[in-house]
Amino acid sequence: MLAVAVPALVALVASLLPIVLNSPSGEGAPLVTSPDPAALSIVENPPDSTPSQLPRSLVDNTTKTPRSTSAPSTGRGGGGGGGAPAASGGTSALFAGPGSPWGQLLPAGAAVDPNSSGYVSSMASEKFLMSFKQWTVPIYYADASTPRHDVPLTENWGASVLRNVPVPPNAKPDPSEDAHLSIVDRSTGCVYDFWGAKGGGSGLSASWGNAIPTNSNGIYPGGMGSRGSGFSAAAGVVTADELRRGVINHALVFAYPNTKSGGPVAPATKSDGRTGGGNALPEGARVRLDPSLNLASLGLNKYELTIATAMQKYGMILGDTSGGFTVYAQNPQSAPGAFTGLLPDDTWVDLTKIPTDRLQVMKLPPQSSNDSRVVGNRCNGW
C-alpha cells in the first residue's frame, strides 16, 4: 500500500512553498501546490474487469435540465447549508502540477479541428447553462483539525474504503442523483472526490470515491474518478471568488449530451460517452470561443463576461455526459452567502448570451482505450 505522506514532511513542504489558498475571510491553512511528478505513478490492485458504467452527470435526465430558450427568473444568489469557506484560488490553484491542462492559455493560432464546424453546429443547438444549485459539485475545505473518518465505497471497482478522509461537520452531497461531493484538505494537499455520496460526518458513504493531490494535474490516470472523464470533480469549477474578482484563470469543465462512444481523448483518461455519428464529441475535447470575437460588443453582464473571457483564453474541456450543455459553479450549499449578488438565485444559470455558434473545437488527439484501473497515490493510500 502506498503510504500517506507523514505530517512532518507535509509541513516542511508547505513552509518552503508558501502558496496559500485562502477563504473569503482571509483565513485558511497553506495548501500544498508544489509539483508532485510521482504523485500518480503507482498502480496497485487494478480491478479484475473494467466497470461497465462509471459516474455520469445528468445522464438521461433531460426532463430535469431546462432546455427551453426562455431566460430563467433572476434574483440574488446565495445558498443554504454549511461547511468550510469557499476557495479563493479556483481550479488553477488546486491543480497546477506537471502536465496540467487547466491553466494552459490557448494561443490565438492554436490548431482547430477539421470537423470543428460539425461539432459546433451540434453544440449550438443546445441551450447553454451553468449548473448551480444541483447537478454540480459542493466543494468543502478541511484542515488538520477536521474530524477524519473512513468512508465506505459500495461499488466493487477495486477498492472498498477511502481511509482517513477529513469530513467537515456540515459537508453534504449535491442533492441530485449523482450526489457529488468534493473535500479539499489544506493540511495535506489532497482532494477527496465522491460520487453517489450519502450521509455525512462519521456516517458518510459513497458509491465510489477517490483522492488526488492538489499539486497534480487533477486527472486520475486510471480513469477512476467521480466524473466520467477521470477528472477530479473539483477541477474546472467556477467559484464565487472568481466571479467577484471578474477573473477565471483556468479552463472550465463542461458536460454535454452527445459524447462520443469508443474512449476518451487526452487529457481525459476515461469516457462514459455512448453516442455514435461524426458530430459526437469525445470526452477530453477542448473547446474555446473564437479569439477574434469582440466580447465587449455582446452586452454581457459581469458573470457572463467573466465566463466568456475564460472560455476564450483557456477554453473548456469536456468532462462528462449530461442531459444538457452545461458548465459548473461550486454548489452554494458549500459556500453559504458567497454567491449573493454574483449569480441569479436559480438552479441553472442561463448563459445563452454567450454565442456558442462561435465556439471552436481544438484539434483532437486520437481516441484512446476506455479501460480503467485503480491507481495508488499518497492521498488515497491504495
Residue range 41-57, pLDDT digits in tens: 333 333 333 333 433 43
CA 282/CA 289 separation, integer angstroms: 18
Q: Specify the amino acid at residue 108.
A: A
pLDDT digits 0-9 by tens, 310-327: 999 999 999 999 999 999
Q: Scanning the structure block, which residue is given the C-alpha cell 444559470?
A: 349
Task: Name every residue whose Cβ is closer than 8 Å to that of residue 99 and which is 6 or more positions away in sequence.
Answer: 217, 267
* Residuewise pLDDT in 10s, the chain (382 residues): 334 343 443 343 344 333 333 333 333 334 444 444 333 333 333 333 333 343 343 333 333 333 332 222 222 222 333 333 434 456 657 999 889 999 999 999 999 999 999 999 999 999 999 999 999 999 999 999 999 999 999 998 999 999 999 999 999 999 999 999 999 999 999 999 999 999 999 999 999 999 999 999 999 999 999 999 999 999 999 999 999 999 999 999 999 999 999 999 999 999 999 999 999 999 999 999 999 999 999 999 999 999 999 999 999 999 999 999 999 999 999 999 999 999 999 999 999 999 999 999 999 999 999 999 999 999 999 9
Q: Is residue 94 part of a domain?
A: no
pLDDT digits 0-9 by tens, 70-110: 222 222 222 333 333 434 456 657 999 889 999 999 999 99
Range of the domain at 318: 115-361
Pair type for strands 348-350 and 316-321: unpaired
Q: Specify the amino acid at residue 266.
A: A
CB 171 within 8 A of CB 81: no
**Three-class DSSP category at 10:** helix
**Three-class DSSP category at 153:** strand
CA 357/CA 122 separation, integer angstroms: 9
**Which pLDDT score, from 0 to 100, does residue 236 have?**
97
Angle ∠(192,197,199) on CA atoms, nearest 5: 110
Q: Is residue 92 part of a domain?
A: no
Segments of the chain assigned E as strands: 42-43, 128-131, 139-142, 148-152, 161-166, 181-185, 190-195, 208-213, 252-256, 286-289, 316-321, 325-328, 348-350, 359-361, 375-376
140, exposed or middle or buried, with CB in 10 Å at 0-12, 13-18, 19+? buried
Number of folded domains that form the chain: 1
Q: 16-26 as b/e, with b when 16 or more CB fall inside 10 Å?
A: ebeebbbbbee
Measured CA to CA in angstroms, residue 99 lies from 89, 95, 96, 217 at distances of 19, 10, 8, 6
Q: Scanning the structure block, which residue is given the C-alpha cell 462514459?
A: 272
Q: Is residue 177 part of a domain?
A: yes
CB 104 within 8 A of CB 251: yes
Q: Specify the amino acid at residue 277.
A: G
Q: Scanning the structure block, which residue is given the C-alpha cell 470561443?
A: 289
Cell of 76: 440574488
DSSP code, position 84: S
Q: Is residue 81 part of a domain?
A: no
**Three-class DSSP category at 372:** coil
Residue 333, φ and ψ in degrees, nearest 5: -65, -25
Q: Is residue 110 part of a domain?
A: no
Q: Is residue 9 part of a domain?
A: no
Q: Is residue 39 part of a domain?
A: no
Q: Is residue 105 part of a domain?
A: no
